[in-house]
Structure 1
């Protein structure tokens, strides 16, 4: 259990970089970083497959396809949505919206497993909804009129990233908790190859002219971020999440992702060189409180279930 929690938190710290990386590599674009990041991810996976332990041998063709689709549609689609959300709406709004994912996944898990009473989930959901509303309302009201449409588009992009994340979490958890779950390293490799293939489809959108016009510091910064996001933020983070998905119940693993919100907000404010506004602080705090209440609800339900089973025995 502790290993799963540590792996999940490590993943959140690394995935939180997604919200500042596109802004840190300017003048290179989101498309450039997506292609480089997932190209490096896929290349690393292919090189590791020289070792037999990393080869996806013995995995059914249908599951091979699922793994590659998780990497291609899930990773590339999520990263593009989240990156555009940050560029359009700033550092605060996207992490807060995407940060609601733990509760949504917990609700889905509760629908399937009925591990917590629905009335107990009312307070967490209300806190999260109010927190998201406060941050979004404050950001939009503080923006210039010309920026309002950009922020609203950022909210839509954040919502798309949220939907992709939920689908990825459900499918990945289902595979890793199945009776014939694949090896974690092999499953990570499949997702890396799928992500690389997905990124290749974006090559026509790459800024090839920047290879000649960008300054040396700009090019080096881009390469450094691409390596960090490809190796640490993709390969290592995916492997850690595979471990967490295998060792933790879906409801618990999903709720750990609230840490991604904390990390991404912290990274964003550090990058912008500012403290959060009162509205951002209050909104984010309410959201985190809501998720913490949700964790308490599910933890209490699990403990009660365990006691009931022991009594019955």
Structure 2
């Protein structure tokens, strides 16, 4: 396939990832009585079991492709991109709401795209700077209205805790996105799907350690609360972790890092859409304008990464 075709497929994978990952913001709302630790343990235990079952038939072929360094890489990626990230995200959703959490995590494209400018195949800052700035303005615009609305219904200290945890989730996931892209490039012999499943197996191991104190803490959960937790955990594990991560890894293999970061914008857009459905309301005019700005930002960035555009930009030096 040509470079432009790969980029188009990569963008499609990025959109699919956003649609699936956006669902994770609703899990804390669907099981509001479950603690962040219990939600994280439930989601990633389910992810680990499913990943192990899917990978089992090919384990003898896949496992030898990784050395000790790659397994250590999987360990820190599993912590940064799954366990630690989701713990902070759940706390953020509980205290600051879906909109505020999606807002802060929506800044990941800016962080990743800026970091990706160091790559040799990245276009110059003057080409990708404007769409990155546009995305940042869009996120701030949504946040200005969303945070004002959330602050009216919550204690200020709770909102601040939620925002701090959202920022921690942003930093954790940015580190994962950058590190995962690097490891995917180092291990071309491992398919995107297998890398996702391997991440799931390692994450499931960490979730086992997390499950013990989480279950002890949740001793008073009712049958209905356990059922909601199980449904949320299994749904997010299948759609966001298994399928979503596979799409993301494919996008990571087809797109340069500075462009890959822009794809995370779709997670924010879908998270807001799901939030509107959950709250049974339409977006405001400001929110519609901001989301339109995000879409324009992504399309602008895609154009900046077209081979002809990159070559022309480099020829201007």
TM-score class, shorter: 0.7 to 0.9
- Could you report, residue by residue, the CA deviation over 1:150-169 in whole angstroms, capped at 9, with x for unpaired residues? 22222222221111121111
User: The residue matched to 1:90 in structure 2 has which SS?
Assistant: helix
**Structure 1 range deviating more: 67-76 or 278-287:** 278-287
- Return the offset for 1:55: 4.0
Are positions 1:304 and 2:299 aligned together?
Answer: no
Residue matched to 1:255? 262
Instruction: Give the superposition deviation at 1:20.
Output: 0.8
Which residue in the other structure is 1:161 paired with?
A: 169
Q: For 1:120 and 1:305, how far apart are their aligned partners in 2?
A: 9
Specify whether residues 103 and 140 from structure 1 end up closer, same or farther in structure 2 by C-alpha distance, changes over 3 A only.
Answer: closer
Quick one: distance in 1 between partners of 2:66 and 2:274?
38
Q: 1:267 to 1:140 in 2, by over 3 A?
A: closer
Asked if 1:63 corresponds to 2:83, the answer is no
**Which of 260, 267, 277 is the equivalent residue of 1:270?**
277
1:134-145 equivalence runs, <5 A: 134-142=141-149, 143-144=151-152
Report the Cα distance in structure 2 between the residues aligned to 1:304 and 1:262, rounded to whole angstroms. 27
Instruction: Report the number of matched residues.
Output: 305
Structure 1 counterpart SS, 2:64: coil
Q: Which segment is superposed worse, 113-122 or 30-39?
A: 113-122
Matched with 1:79 is 86
TM-aligned CA distance change 1:256 to 1:76, over 3 Å: same
Question: Which segments of 5 or more consecutive residues in structure 1 lack a partner in the other structure?
Answer: none
The aligned residue for residue 132 of structure 1 is 139
**Alignment correspondent of 2:190:** 182
Pairwise CA distance, 1:22: 1.0
Distance in 1 (CA, whole Å) between partners of 2:101 and 2:261 is 18
Q: 1:286 to 1:173 in 2, by over 3 A?
A: same
Deviation of 1:145 after TM superposition, in Å, equals: 8.4
Distance 2:196 2:129 in 1: 36
The question of whether the paired residues in 2 share the 8 Å contact of 1:131 and 1:283 is answered with: yes
Structure 2 unaligned segments of length 5 or more: list them: 1-5
Aligned-pair RMSD on alpha carbons? 2.7
1:27-82, Cα deviation, whole Å (9 max, x unpaired): 22332221111001111222234312574223111101211321233211111122
Q: How far 1:140 moved relative to its partner?
A: 3.9
Query: What is the TM-score normalised by the length of structure 2?
Result: 0.84
CA distance in 2, matches of 1:226, 1:309: 47
Pair 79,124 (structure 1): closer, same or farther in 2 beyond 3 Å: same
User: What SS class does the counterpart of residue 98 from structure 2 fall into?
Assistant: coil
CA distance in 2, matches of 1:84, 1:40: 20
With 36-45 and 115-124 compared, the bigger mean Cα shift is at 115-124
**Displacement after TM superposition at 1:125 (Å):** 4.0
CA distance in 2, matches of 1:144, 1:179: 49
**Corresponding residue for residue 197 of structure 1:** 205
1:208 alignment partner, one of 197, 202, 218: 218
Does 161-170 or 181-190 show the bigger shift?
181-190
